[in-house]
Amino acid sequence: MAVFNQFHSLSGANFARINNTFVTLLPKKDGAEGVGDFRPISLINSVAKLITKVLSMRLAEKM
């Protein structure tokens, strides 16, 4: 519940602090050199994902 209380206290300008995404490249094979030899993996901030899921579930009840 503390996560949701902190989110509720944020203004819209501060949402960027919890909405981070990092991308890493994992090699598909040994000795990868070209762009096609890598697989991109997106590491999305789980806090923003969790809040989005909870809000969408709560909105679905109202519709």
pLDDT tens, 2-51? 766 766 676 555 666 666 778 889 999 999 889 899 999 887 777 777 77
So what's the pLDDT on residue 23? 84
| Both structure tokens of 42 | 């997106």
In one-letter notation, the amino acid at residue 43 is L
The pLDDT of residue 57 is above 80: yes
Q: What is the dihedral of CA 22, 27, 33, 35, to 10 degrees?
A: -50
Considering the entire predicted model, what is its pTM?
0.42
Q: How many CB atoms lie within 10 A of CB 12?
A: 6
